[in-house]
Amino acid sequence: MTGVRPASVPAPPAGPVPRRRWAALVLLCTANFVVLLDSQSVILALPQLTDELGMAPLDAQWVLTAKLLTFGGLLLLGGRAADRLGRRRVFMAGTALFLLSSAVSGLAWTGGVVIAARAVGGVAAALMVPTALSILLNTFPEGRDRNTALAGWAGIGGIGATVGLLLGGLFTELAGWQWVFFINVPVALVVLLLTPVLVGESRAAGRQGPYGVPGALTSTAALVLVILAVSRAAGSGWTSGQTLLPLAAAVLLAGVFAAVERRSAAPLLPPDLLRRSTLAGGNLVTLCMGMAAFSLSVSVAVYGQAVLGHGPMEFGALQSVMSFLAFVGAYAGQRVVTRTGFRPVVGVCLVLLCAGCLLLARVPADGSYLRDVLWGLVVFGPALGAGTAAASVAAVSGVPERSSGVASGLIVAALQIGGALGVAVVTTVTATFSGPEPGPAGLTAGLQAAFTACAVFVALGMAAAALTLRSRSKPDRVR
């Protein structure tokens, strides 16, 4: 789900005729798929990309976090712009920007260029994804057809995460890291050409409030400064000016964001929503799960290639077991939540996620995939899928229908922002704790600390769940 507002979406006669609705669905799911593919495939390409562009490890993590930050930080703004300016228009603008950013990423000659292009790609994703879902809701009226369409949308999302690792490894090994970006170009071009044919224009009914640009920009800038400070801490120390000054500026911008939101007639984060403990808890848990999931994926990819010596294609297939099991876990988790409520599922999944991280924290320098990696992924994967599904249910539990789109968008934003924070922290941890001796032994010590940090992220999620997702006399169930 994304930052759109389904309650404000009318069902006008305009739009695709019924026989074209399913073709439009395929088009929208393709756009969602390629955005997810872009996020996952670069994980396997990162070691080769870092080496060929001569990037320092602490700088290389920005290839991932640049997109995650702009995607998560501008997601709600993208959904609001689509409501105001026209959904098809914004979707096409986002797709064109995604095409451009992918081409520049593949052609990048320095690390700075690829990082800037990835940040633009995040802006594109923030326009594409919520708008595509809003178009889907506008195209299919409530009922069985809409439920089928939403199931297809969710299913493609799960498949995209798995296929992204497989294709990322394949393209990196056979053609070079550039092709994890170039593959997006023809897909985006086809989506761009077919959108005017299959998708009708639509806007939200009634007058809309302000866009919320100041709030979106100040909050995103604050997050960038936090990650910049964390990245510099490994080299300059936590008490140095290079670390403390960005943190101070981030606090100042956070204050500006709060002031802007208080004065806004249509804040990005409505105060009545933020006062709901289940929404706050569900998003905090999702944030912590995102921190653990993205950072663990990156650390596993580095261990598999740099320590175990697997090629990108081979390890992409091996690592995809986690994404596949997360996909399975998400569907199984939804069924269990329907019967038991979200609290037991969140609790059990957080315990399993922590166990998976701690299993991986024991990886040795002379390890093997089957003995030292597989079982951690097998424990972590299904718990991630079921846990994020349950946390999403918690976040939207009791939220009024008119605010369901904003609440859903917050979940996606929390996952993306959590991923950006997690990758920044574990990259710093890995650099700090890597042993003095070069080679696999020194790197393994840093990666062990990184997997332990992932367990700490999950422990923070446990604390958030305990404080906010408290038991009530009647269990929360999905109806």
Chain segment 389-400, per-residue pLDDT in tens: 888 888 877 766
- Look at residue 235 and tell me whether its pLDDT is greater than 90: no
Mean pLDDT calculated for residue range 41-70:
89
Query: Would you put residue 143 in left (φ > 0), alpha (ψ -120 to 50) or beta?
Result: left
- Look at residue 90 and tell me whether its pLDDT is greater than 70: yes
- Look at residue 50 and tell me whether its pLDDT is greater than 70: yes
| Neighbour count for residue 192 (Cβ, 10 Å) | 18
351 — pLDDT class (breaks 50, 70, 90): very high
443 — pLDDT class (breaks 50, 70, 90): very high
Cβ(410)–Cβ(394) under 8 Å?
Answer: no
Mean pLDDT calculated for residue range 206-229:
78
Query: Considering only CA atoms, which of 113, 116, 71 is closest in space to residue 94?
Result: 71
pLDDT of residue 477: 44
205 — pLDDT class (breaks 50, 70, 90): low
Cβ(356)–Cβ(298) under 8 Å?
Answer: no
Helices (H), 434-472: 440-468
pLDDT of residue 460: 96
pLDDT of residue 454: 97
H helix and E strand count, the chain: 17, 0
Cα separation values, 100 from 23, 91, 97, 293, 477, Å:
25, 14, 5, 28, 44
Segments of 137-194 assigned E as strands: none
pLDDT of residue 473: 37
Cβ(402)–Cβ(5) under 8 Å?
Answer: yes
- Look at residue 9 and tell me whether its pLDDT is greater than 50: no
What percentage of the chain carries pLDDT values higher than 90? 41
Give the Cα separation of 479 and 467 in Å (integer): 25
In terms of pLDDT, which residue wins out, 23 or 405?
23
**Residues present in the chain in total:** 479
265 — pLDDT class (breaks 50, 70, 90): confident
Mean pLDDT calculated for residue range 324-347:
86
Tokens (6 digits) for 9: 């979406």
Query: Considering only CA atoms, which of 294, 287, 345, 288 is closest in space to residue 460?
Result: 288
Give the Cα separation of 134 and 155 in Å (integer): 17
Give the Cα separation of 300 and 126 in Å (integer): 27
The amino acid sitting at 344 is: P
Residues in CB range of 177: below 8 A, 6 or more apart: 45, 48, 49, 52, 171
Query: Considering only CA atoms, which of 414, 408, 400 is closest in space to residue 3?
Result: 408
Residues in CB range of 195: below 8 A, 6 or more apart: 27, 88, 91, 92, 95
**Mean pLDDT rounded to a whole number for the chain:** 84
Cβ(325)–Cβ(160) under 8 Å?
Answer: no
339 — pLDDT class (breaks 50, 70, 90): confident
Handedness of CA 174, 177, 182, 187 (dihedral sign): positive
- Look at residue 303 and tell me whether its pLDDT is greater than 80: yes
SS3 content of the chain, % helix, strand, coil (to 5): 80, 0, 20
Q: Which of 119-123, 127-131, 150-154, 257-261 has the highest mean pLDDT?
A: 119-123
In terms of pLDDT, which residue wins out, 338 or 378?
378
14 — pLDDT class (breaks 50, 70, 90): very low
DSSP 178: T
Give the Cα separation of 122 and 110 in Å (integer): 19
pLDDT of residue 405: 61
pLDDT of residue 249: 92
pLDDT of residue 213: 78
- Look at residue 13 and tell me whether its pLDDT is greater than 60: no
- Look at residue 36 and tell me whether its pLDDT is greater than 90: no
Buried b (16+ CB within 10 A) or exposed e, 393-431: bbbbbebeeebbbbbbbbbbbbbbbbbbbbbbbbbbbbb
pLDDT of residue 148: 73
